[in-house]
């Protein structure tokens, strides 16, 4: 599948395509995101090495100054001026280099963060519908937000910090050895033990970090579910506010306990390290004093001062390196969660030889040729659960077992200009069959074709451009009416937008809103009524002007007058186009060119309204149970 999406910053763009096992271990995958910025990383490395090398000169200069001034030294005033001048100039140069290095480090870190977010978002955009039916929105938001933000400090600071600290430690140790190897051994003798304990602490930190992020994702999911418009309406109408608070309180407390544990892991250990670093100078003075009193002429006052100065310069980066090891282990847990999503297979992708459909030449003939389809197990359970809820609401028998939710042996044609209606009991497979046309799912057997071309040979974006869908559950963005309409056609003129709105019988209502077309519709369009939302959705499809229309109960929330207006608009739109409608409204069924009757994933009857009534089968029974009752209600 071709890579989609933009890239922030210069240089080569990262490869956003990820497959299981394609990047090796987590660390190698992380390094892969830094690879496009090799040039800048090289400059940063050189700046760090230069800065660190300059930094180690000052303690050496202190030794030379003291040895110059103490009795027995050369006491050269010109040499003193030179030494002091270097002690003033070198820190200034180091600071300037440090500012530039810090800027470049932050630029690279932020670019990598952006690439990581973009890679994750892009990958999820092309995940199959099944993934989103089985994953809570809050969990997805937590991966993109909490997990990616959680690694920001590691990405932006750690690489440069590690190199800087390592170079500082290396150059300092070399200088200390040159001054006196015995004092150096005393100062560094405990470090191997500290390094081992740090490794053990880091492993525990990584495990706790994983649990913390899982709890954070749960809190995000609970928040998204309970504080969305739909969730809060459900909570208020069922009087479950306190239950929601209790659920949130329990998980929030668990998250707090985990975060406390995460922060406290290794604190006693690092306190021990800090104590050792604090008392080490005293041990150096002790050993140096013993050597001097014993008559060792290789140790001077200048050497001791220079050594303790180097020692103080060593302890901070050593502590940083040990602490960073623990932080990295915690961050690796977050990277594991991020790469877990990046490695999820994109089951529905463009074929290597995929083609684009030309809307100008497309007739729009849709054909199902012996199609069979089964949901994966988890999706099947969700489908049956939904069927059970609907059955309970309508008084039918509630399914008690999970059956494979499937379509079997579907064959039919929908020709340009035809209206094909899909009817049948709830859960019979009507909506599922329409999902196969835009490839929200792929068939298990047979084929779905448009103008004789298997949809699996058509690029997904091209397929999306020629198909328009209006569902029963309308989704509007938290944006203006105008931007919601332009989602279908960003380059549409205001005249075209108003024409589509008039055709959908919503233009006059939009003008009545406080800011007209610039009115923000609210979360999921909740500032509009159900009928208004559906008419906006229909206007959006009218603006798109697709060759193939799929209507899933598109007029279910409309009053009689609005429905009549919409039906007239849809009738004009359907001229020369293929329309497949899932509907229970009598007005839609009566004028269908072909009615397909579904039962348990199969087409059991087909024909016109009159033909199916004469057949006296399932359609006739449904008509008597649902449509006749509706007509009586209208007549009453």
Quote helix, strand, coil % in the chain, to nearest 5: 65, 10, 25
Whole-number average pLDDT of the chain: 76
Sort strands 445-450 and 453-454 into parallel, antiparallel or unpaired: antiparallel
Per the structure block, which two tokens stand in for 532? 């208004």
Most confident of 255-264, 360-369, 523-532: 360-369
pLDDT at 456: 93
Going by the DSSP 8-state scheme, the letter that residue 145 receives in this structure is I
Token pair 């609210």 is found at: 522
Q: Helices 560-573 and 530-544, interaxial angle, to 10°?
A: 10
Cα(302)–Cα(71) distance, integer angstroms: 12
Angle at 29 (CA atoms; ends 24, 31), nearest 5 degrees: 130
- How would residue 23 be classed by pLDDT, with cut points 50, 70 and 90? very low
Contact 366, 580 (CB under 8 A): yes
Residue with the bigger pLDDT between 14 and 101: it is 101
Q: Indicate whether 383 pLDDT > 70.
A: no
Most confident of 49-53, 592-596, 632-636: 592-596
Q: Is the pLDDT of residue 594 over 90?
A: yes
Evaluate if pTM is beyond 0.75.
no
Report the alpha-carbon distance of residue 367 to residue 572 in Å, rounded. Answer: 23
Instruction: Give the model's pLDDT for residue 503.
Output: 83
What phi and psi values does residue 473 have, to the nearest 5 degrees?
Answer: -95, 100
Give tens-digit pLDDT for 414-443.
998 888 999 988 888 898 999 999 998 899
pLDDT digits (tens, 9 = 90+) for 164-207: 777 777 877 888 788 777 877 777 766 676 666 666 776 677 67
Tens-digit pLDDT profile for residues 266-294: 666 666 666 666 777 777 777 777 777 77
Angle between helices 301-342 and 77-125 (to 10 degrees): 10
DSSP-assigned beta bridge partners for residue 470: 551
Structure-token match 């279908």, residue found: 488
Decide: 241 and 153 in contact? Cβ < 8 Å. no
Residue 509 confidence (pLDDT) above 50: yes
CA-CA distance, 560 to 399, in Å (whole number)?
Answer: 34
Q: What three-state secondary structure class fits 423?
A: strand
Domains observed in the chain: 26-342 (1.20.1560.10), 366-635 (3.40.50.300)
**For a pLDDT cut of 70, what percent of the chain falls above it?**
73
SS3 assignment, position 447: strand
Phi, psi values for residue 189, rounded to 5°? -60, -30
């Amino acid at each position: 599948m071709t890579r989609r999406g933009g890239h922030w910053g210069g240089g080569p763009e990262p490869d956003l395509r990820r497959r299981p096992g394609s990047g090796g271990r987590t660390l190698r995958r992380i390094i892969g995101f830094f690879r496009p910025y090799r040039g800048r990383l090289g400059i940063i490395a050189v700046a760090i090495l230069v800065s660190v090398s300059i930094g180690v000169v000052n303690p050496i200069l202190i030794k030379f100054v003291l040895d110059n001034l103490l009795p027995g030294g050369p006491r050269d005033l010109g040499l003193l001026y030179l030494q002091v001048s270097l002690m003033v100039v070198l820190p200034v140069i180091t600071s300037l280099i440090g500012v530039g290095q810090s800027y470049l480090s932050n630029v690279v870190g932020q670019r990598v963060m952006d690439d990581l977010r973009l890679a994750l978002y892009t990958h999820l955009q092309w995940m199959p519908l099944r993934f989103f039916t089985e994953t809570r929105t809050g969990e997805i938001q937590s991966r993109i937000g909490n997990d990616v933000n959680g690694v920001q400090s590691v990405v932006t600071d750690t690489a440069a910090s590690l190199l800087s600290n390592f170079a500082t430690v290396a150059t300092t140790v070399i200088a200390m050895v040159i001054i006196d190897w015995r004092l150096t051994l005393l100062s560094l003798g405990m470090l191997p033990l500290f390094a081992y304990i740090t490794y053990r602490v880091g492993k525990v930190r990584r495990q706790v970090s994983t649990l913390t992020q899982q709890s954070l994702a749960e809190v995000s999911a609970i928040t998204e579910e309970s504080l969305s418009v739909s969730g809060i309406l459900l909570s208020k109408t069922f009087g479950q506010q306190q239950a929601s608070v209790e659920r949130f309180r329990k998980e929030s407390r668990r998250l707090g306990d985990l975060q406390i544990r995460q922060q406290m892991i290794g604190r006693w250990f690092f306190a021990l390290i800090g104590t050792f670093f604090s008392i080490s100078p005293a041990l150096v003075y002790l050993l140096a004093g013993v050597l001097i009193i014993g008559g060792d002429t290789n140790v001077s006052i200048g050497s001791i001062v220079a050594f303790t100065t180097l020692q103080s310069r060593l302890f901070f980066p050593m502590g940083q390196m040990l602490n960073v090891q623990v932080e990295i282990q915690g961050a690796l847990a977050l990277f594991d969660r991020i790469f877990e999503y990046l490695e999820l297979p994109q089951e529905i992708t463009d074929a290597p030889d995929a083609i684009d459909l030309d809307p100008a030449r497309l007739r729009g003939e849709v054909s199902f040729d012996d199609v069979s389809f089964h949901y994966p197990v988890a999706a099947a359970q969700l489908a049956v659960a939904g069927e059970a809820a609907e059955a309970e609401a309508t008084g039918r028998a509630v399914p008690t077992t999970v059956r494979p939710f499937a379509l079997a042996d579907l064959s039919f044609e929908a020709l340009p200009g035809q209206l094909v209606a899909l009817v049948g009991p709830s859960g019979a497979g009507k909506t599922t069959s329409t999902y196969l046309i835009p490839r929200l799912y792929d068939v298990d057997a047979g084929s779905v074709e448009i103008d004789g071309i298997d949809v699996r040979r058509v690029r997904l974006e091209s397929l999306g451009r020629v198909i328009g869908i209006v569902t029963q559950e309308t989704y509007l963005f938290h944006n203006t009416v105008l931007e919601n309409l332009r989602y279908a056609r960003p380059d549409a003129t205001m005249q075209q937008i108003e024409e589509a709105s008039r055709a959908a019988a919503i233009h006059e209502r939009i003008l009545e809103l406080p800011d007209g077309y610039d009115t923000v519709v609210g979360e999921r369009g909740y500032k509009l009524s159900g009928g208004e939302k559906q008419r906006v959705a229909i206007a959006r499809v009218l603006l798109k002007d697709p060759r193939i229309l799929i209507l899933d109960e598109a007029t279910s929330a409309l009053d009689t007058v609005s429905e009549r207006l919409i039906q007239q608009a849809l009738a004009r739109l359907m001229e020369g186009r293929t329309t497949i409608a899932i509907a229970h409204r009598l007005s839609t069924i009566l004028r269908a060119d072909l009615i397909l009757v579904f039962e348990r994933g199969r087409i059991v009857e087909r024909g016109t309204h009159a033909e199916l009534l004469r057949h006296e089968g399932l359609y006739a029974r449904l008509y008597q149970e649902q449509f006749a009752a509706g007509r009586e209600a209208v007549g009453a």
